[in-house]
Amino acid sequence: MGKLLMHITCGPEAPTRAALGLLVARAAVDEGHDVSVFLAGDGVQLVRNAVLDALTGLGTGSLRESFDAVVAGGGRFYLSGMSSKARGVTEADLEGKAAEFAMPNRLVQLTFEADRSLTY
């Protein structure tokens, strides 16, 4: 199977777009692909429990369901450290979520390691 990088830069302000990015990541995991999700900009807020539990995209379903399915399928989340700091996302927000903070060079590395990359 292939390696997919999903880069999500939108957050709660664009619930359908954010949920669509995670829905596609979930579909890739379900197909057996290796999936990495890099959250940047407002997208880092998607890791917060309150956002995961409240956000539902129009026609794209529950953010929580897709997020949990990606994690259960072995997907890994990377959050821009600078975007997270600017938006108050902390280590506590990452607990139990197969997620870590990363700098832009990690995004570059993940991009070159992936077979395909999608951005939402």
Name the band, by pLDDT with cuts 50, 70 and 90, for residue 4. Answer: very high
Each domain of the chain, given as residue ranges in start order, spans 3-119
pLDDT in tens, 34-47: 999 999 999 999 99
Query: Following CA atoms 1, 26, 60, 85 in sequence, which dihedral angle do they give, to the nearest 10 degrees?
Result: -120
Task: Give residue-wise pLDDT tens across range 81-119.
Answer: 999 999 999 999 999 999 999 999 999 999 999 999 999
* Per-residue pLDDT, 119: 97
H helices present in 1-120, as ranges: 15-30, 49-54, 63-72, 81-87, 91-94, 104-113
Pick among 3.30.1490.390, 3.40.1260.10, 2.60.120.10, 3.40.140.10: CATH of 3-119 = 3.40.1260.10
Q: What is the mean pLDDT of residues 74-81?
A: 98
Residue where the block lists tokens 């997270």: 84
Task: Note the residue count of the chain.
Answer: 120
For tokens 């957050």, the residue is: 11
pLDDT value at residue 110:
98
